[in-house]
Each structure stands twice: as C-alpha cells, then as structure tokens.
Structure 1
Amino acid sequence: MENEFDSINIFDFDGTLTTETWPKFWVWVKKFGYNGIERNAHLESALAEYRKKHEGDALSTFFGFFNDLLVDNNETLSIEELMEGEKYIRYNPGLDDFLKKTDTKNYIVSGGLKDFLEHLKVTKCFDGIYGSSLKYDEKGKIIGIGEIMTDDKKISAIRDILKRNNREGNDCRDVYYVGDGYSDANAMKFVHDNGGKAIFVYQPNEDDELSGRNNEIYELLNADGIVDFSFLADYRDGSELSNILKR
C-alpha cells in the first residue's frame, strides 16, 4: 500500500553533499589578506584572536568574525564575489546523477549561507533550502551576516518542511536526515525520535587520523542511539547510501 505522503530526504551540505567540511563561501576574505578556500593556520589564528575579544558560542563567533570583516572595514560584496567559491566545491561521487533520478522530495538544511547555496548549479534539483541569511544594502550589495541557522533552528526548518508536505505535527515517517558532523545532532535526534531515520555519512578513510575523526563523530552522535545508518558519502547508483535514500 502506498504512503499517503511523499518520501523526504533532508541533507546537511558541507561534508555531507561535498567532500570537505570547510564552506567555500568564504573565498571573498582574500580582500582582507586571508585564504578562504580551505581551513588554514592564518585564518584559524585570526578567528581565535577574535573569539578572545567577543563573547558567544563557536557558531556565533565564527559568523561574527566574517561579518565584522565587512562591517568594520565598511566593505560590501556582490553576489558574483560571493559565488567565486563555487568553483572550489567538490561534490561526493554520484550526487548529480542521484538528484536527477530520485523520486523523493529533497531539501537542504545547513548552517551555511542560504543565498550562496541557492545560487549553486547543483541545488536547482532541491525542493527547498534552509540556511543562514545575509544582509543587503539598498543597492543589493552584501553588507553582513543576518540570522544564523543554529543547531536548534534546524529543527524549526524541519518542521517547516513537514508542514509544506502536509504532515501533521512532527510526523517524520519516511523522512531521512543525512549529516556528517556534531552540528547535525539535534536535527538527527528530532527526525529519529519522530519516526524518521538519521543517517551519518563519512568520507573515505584515507589515513588513520581521518578514520579516528569519523569514529569519534559517529560515537558522539550515536551516544543516545539516534543514528539509524552509517554510510560512506557515496551517492553513486548501487551504493548503500543511494539504495537507502531512493527507497
């Protein structure tokens, strides 16, 4: 007997759909002498110094640092400058083909910048995108970071997805949430506890350090038994992840 509602997949972005956890929308920090293409000591050191002088949790101070680069220097960004990072993104294998073939509803719920994600070519295949917002001036230039998609707000985003799909209350039956990191814990728990499935994905274990990190993240996320599946982030036809998501 067919379900009375659509199957739904909800994805984190960086590290889940892509091969790296570092978001590529920070490439524009080259305007201030930083390399924003990848995680690096120079940028991490500047961020650490910023956190010594500003109160807040890791997420708010992370976005605060980049926001203040623009605000304190009275600088703006164009959408074109923001989107320069797209060319550095590497997607996990099979993603594009998977999105074109799947019959499920697919959404992104990410702490990343929504406007950046919405302009990516690959995200045209998604039914909706939720993320942190940007602030603009009257000329359409980016002047700072707006509301941040915190771990708790991801639950509000999931509730909105459920509502858009005519679900009653927190009904997550046949809803799968796919994530790769600590920031996915609240969303995973919400989906799992309300009848859905939480899927942890990881990158290939190319060395012992990466393998250890994958295991550490998985064990933390699954401390309360909220992870239903753990798969390699491989979306190619016939992979374990692809087979589960296509259901």
Structure 2
Amino acid sequence: MAKQRPIIAFLYDFDKTLCTTDMQNYAFIPSLGMTPAEFWAEANGFGRRNRIDGILAYMYTMLREAERKRLPFTRADLVDKGRDIVLFPGVEDWFCRINDYGTTLGVQVEHYIISSGLREIIEGSSISAEFKEIYASEFYYDENGVPVWPKLAVNFTAKTQFVYRINKGVLDVSDDKTLNDSMPDDSKRVPFTNMVYMGDGLSDVPCMKMMRAYGGQAIAVYQEGNRQGVEDLLAKGRVDFIFPADYSEGTALDTTVKHIIQKMAIADLLWEENVQQLRGIGGDVLPNQVGLF
C-alpha cells in the first residue's frame, strides 16, 4: 500500500481575505435598496439592543429586511448572489498553483474556509470547488428552499472549533463525540504544525493565536484601508507575516507561502527519518516525540 503523503492545510477567512469586502455587500445588500453602511448599522444596532450574538443578528436582519421589501430569499437566490463576489488578484489560480507546488515536494495541500459570512454565498463564488470543506454561517431551509432557522453561526471565537475538526479529521459539524474523543497526536490527520491560517484582522486573532501557540503559521493580508490594523497585529506578535492582498504568482505572499510549504515538507521528512531510525534500533516512538519539528 502506498504511503499517505503528509497533509498541509490552508485555513482561510473569506471576507477581505480572499474577496475585497463583506460578501453581502456585493449583491444582497444592494438588492434591499440599502447601502452597506446602512445595513450593517441596522444589524449591529439590533444585536446590541437585544444582546444577540452579532452573527445571529446579521442573519436575522437579512431575513427581516428581505421580508419587509417583499424580496425572494431562498438558498438558490443567495448562491446566485455569490456570483458577484470580487476576488483579490491571483486568487482564481492560487489554489492550483499551491497544490502543484506541494505535489513537487511530496505533500498534499488542502484548503478550508472558516468564515463568519454565509456558506450559501460562498458556494456561489467561482472558487467554491477549491475547498475540502466550507465552515461558515448557514441557514436551515424547508422543502421550498426558504430559510426557517439558523443552522450554524460562526462567530469569531467559535472559529477555533473548526481548527480542531481539521486537525482530527472530524469534519462533520454534527459529530461532537468523535471531536472530543481522546486521540494520540500521531494519529491526528493534520498536525497543527502543518497548518497555515490566513485572515485580515481582529476577527481572526483567536485562530491566529492557535497557530502561533501550536507551531503553525499565521498570515494576515491587507488592503490600504486596514494596513495599520494588520501592522499592529504583527507588532504585537499576533501574526507571523503580513502582506498586501495580492495572491499573484511571484508576489511576496506567494513566495513566502511556498517557503512555508517547503519548511513543513522538510520537517515531515525529518520526522519520518527519525521514526525509522528509532524503529531500526527497536525503540518506541513516544507521544512527546510527535511534532518535534
């Protein structure tokens, strides 16, 4: 049986990380006859007044405003609105390039979304097929595709649970038992040391801190408008690298990510060589030897 290639997982926020603004701003909010500033002020104010989680507050506001304007609000309609998403330069072919680079180094690269935005809108984007799993806020729909209840709400701190799911390979959000079962480090599908989290700001800090604490890498991308905030993350040691949001081949972001993949691939190779030597002398591979590199 062929040996399983080491897996390197890229975990992305979506809004302002892969696309230029909040995903609702492109088509959904204009369809309400509102500006993004008006919609978000309404959603955030509603949440504060009623002490509602911010993600649930914006999901409810989407439903309420669509009903007030007597506009269609179905799953298919939301997916269709995702087609208007504008991606940063280089994002369209980023995944293929990074996958191919990983293959040349003998590793398997996977991509995941962990977003507080809506899964339905992300699914309408041109890159939705690139992800092994999309973790994002989502509605539950009836047989006519009409939302009747929040299915999943991904707020900023809740994002971290999905990092653990990817680590253990327990991707089904309804499977909490397996997620919480004890699992030896050397049997976890994607070691934290083989993870790269990419985000754009404070909402990503919990996941970025996990990466830095457990040996992964955290990258923040910026547009000119949020450059100062991202530079502050770097100065305070909350992120490893910052780059302009340009994913094109040959950019600093592209080059550094390839160096990270190379480093992770070499670490996996060294670990495997160490294991083989221990086995060759009749030694055991101890749990605390896993993830040394």
TM-score w.r.t. structure 2 length?
0.69
Q: 1:51 to 1:8 in 2, by over 3 A?
A: closer
| Whole-angstrom CA distance in 2 between matches of 1:14 and 1:31 | 19
Is 1:233–2:245 an aligned residue pair?
Answer: yes
Give the structure with higher Rg (CA).
2
Are the equivalent residues in 2 in contact too, given 1:172–1:191 (CA < 8 A)? yes
Q: Which of 135, 138, 149 lines up with 1:130 in the alignment?
A: 135
1:86: which partner in 2? 82
Q: How does 1:1-247 map to 2 (within 5 A)?
A: 5-20=6-21, 22-24=22-24, 27-29=27-29, 32-35=32-35, 39-40=36-37, 42-47=38-43, 49-51=45-47, 53-69=49-65, 77-103=73-99, 104-164=109-169, 168=188, 171-203=191-223, 205=224, 210=225, 213-219=226-232, 221-222=233-234, 224-246=236-258, 247=261
SS of the aligned residue for 2:59 comes to helix
Instruction: Give CA deviations for 1:133-152 in whole Å, capped at 9, x if unaligned.
Output: 11212222234543210112
Q: Name the aligned partner's letter for residue 116 of structure 2.
A: G
Structure 2: give runs of 5+ residues left out of the alignment.
100-108, 171-185, 262-293
- % same residue: 25
Are the equivalent residues in 2 in contact too, given 1:92–1:234 (CA < 8 A)? yes
Structure 1: give runs of 5+ residues left out of the alignment.
none
| Whole-angstrom CA distance in 2 between matches of 1:71 and 1:146 | 19
SS of the aligned residue for 2:212 comes to helix
Q: 1:201 to 1:30 in 2, by over 3 A?
A: closer
SS of the aligned residue for 1:66 comes to helix
TM-score w.r.t. structure 1 length?
0.80
Q: 1:222 to 1:119 in 2, by over 3 A?
A: same
Are the equivalent residues in 1 in contact too, given 2:78–2:120 (CA < 8 A)? no
Q: CA RMSD in A?
A: 3.0
Are the equivalent residues in 1 in contact too, given 2:8–2:195 (CA < 8 A)? yes
Q: 1:47 to 1:154 in 2, by over 3 A?
A: closer
Are the equivalent residues in 2 in contact too, given 1:170–1:194 (CA < 8 A)? no
| Whole-angstrom CA distance in 2 between matches of 1:91 and 1:227 | 23
Q: 1:69 to 1:24 in 2, by over 3 A?
A: closer
Instruction: Give CA deviations for 1:153-187 in whole Å, capped at 9, x if unaligned.
Output: 21111111111298639931121100002110101
Greater helix fraction, Structure 1 or Structure 2: 2
Instruction: Give CA deviations for 1:98-150 in whole Å, capped at 9, x if unaligned.
Output: 11222221111111111221232212112211111112122222345432101
Are the equivalent residues in 2 in contact too, given 1:60–1:148 (CA < 8 A)? yes
Q: 1:79 to 1:227 in 2, by over 3 A?
A: same
Aligned pairs, number: 233
Q: Name the aligned partner's letter for residue 27 of structure 2.
A: V
- Tell me by how many angstroms 1:71 deviates: 7.0
